[in-house]
Amino acid sequence: MSNDRAIPQGYMTVGEIAKKMGVSVRTLQYYHREGLLSPSAQSGGGRRLYTDRDVILLHQILSMKHLGFSLDDIKNRLIGLDTPEEVAAALSEQAAAIRQKLASLSESLAQLEALRAEVLQMQAVDFKKYADIIANLEMKNELYWLVKHLDDRTLNQFRRRFDHASAPIMMERVSQLMGEALRLQAEGVPPAGERGMAFAEKYWAMVLDFTGGDTAMLADLMKLSDKAEAPAGPSQEWQQKLADANAFISPALEAWFSARDYDPLGEGTK
């Protein structure tokens, strides 16, 4: 420690560094007690002194605190600042943490905007459906907007059948089949042809798995194709995809049912 009573050149008092970095003296004292940021020196009069190096270290601490890290996390993530490489590494880690936080904030903002759009389109307060939409948004299910079109009986069935682990798997299966329908349509494959019928068989198996074999739910699900032209919003792109996919799926299923003389909304065969 320095024994000079005057403040040596290149050093700052706790008040000066606090003012420079926009924090309180009490905050710096707290960081000192917690072992995060100790003064680099002490004057002959006992004043705690800091350097420009401490400014960079304090910037690390404040940045990570702003990003939501606990004090213990910050202690473990602080990087030495003795070489240019260490300073660069510290800045790189801060930049990476900020990018991650920005991505998280952007995702949260997108979810809020999507939920807001769905709330306005529903035009009725339904917290159960709000919760279902939020859950689907968090699972990154791009078909979240369909929730508002399902009745309570159908939604309750889905809640019983799928949890946070199984729902994304089923939604990925639905998404893959929709993608396959779009590809087959783009290739000009006849829905009633061999490839169309093979697709219809896979799709119908998915529907039965999705509903747990409860054919009473099928009428509600089959109405969803009529919702593809809902007002524009965050789900507009998926609404269009659904409409385009249904242009292949519907005739393929009709051909598959007809070939088997099967009525999906009846007891079995026509």
What value, to the nearest 5°, has the Cα angle with vertex 50 and ends 41 and 79?
100
Question: What would the pLDDT profile of 24-78 be if each residue is shown by its tens digit?
Answer: 999 999 999 988 888 888 877 778 899 888 888 888 888 888 877 788 878 877 7
Residues 238, 126: Cα–Cα separation, whole Å:
23
Q: Which three-class secondary structure state does DSSP give residue 41?
A: strand
Residues 87, 203: Cα–Cα separation, whole Å:
56
For residues 118-152, one letter each, b for 16 or more C-beta atoms within 10 angstroms of the residue's C-beta and e for the rest, the string is bbeeeeeeeeebbebbbbbbebebbbbbbbbbbee
| Residue 172 clears pLDDT 50, i.e. is over it | yes
Question: What would the pLDDT profile of 228-254 be if each residue is shown by its tens digit?
Answer: 444 444 456 666 777 788 889 989 999
State both tokens at 247: 């242009």
Whether the Cβ atoms of residue 252 and residue 192 lie closer than 8 Å to each other: yes
Note if the pTM is more than 0.95.
no
- Which own/partner contact pairs does 114-122 have at CB distance under 8 Å and 24+ positions apart? 114/144, 114/145, 114/234, 114/235, 117/233, 117/234, 117/235, 118/144, 118/145, 118/147, 118/148, 118/233, 121/148, 121/230, 121/231, 121/233, 122/148
Q: For residue 197, how many other CB atoms are within 10 A of its CB?
A: 17
List the one residue out of 154, 146, 256 whose CA is nearest residue 201: 256
Give the CA count within 13 Å in the CB-facing half-sphere of 114: 29
**For 180-206, what is the mean pLDDT?**
93
**For 119-138, what is the mean pLDDT?**
70
pLDDT band at 145 (very low <50, low <70, confident <90, very high): low
- The one-letter amino acid at 181: A
List the one residue out of 229, 238, 234, 242 whose CA is nearest residue 117: 234
Residue 234 pLDDT? 46
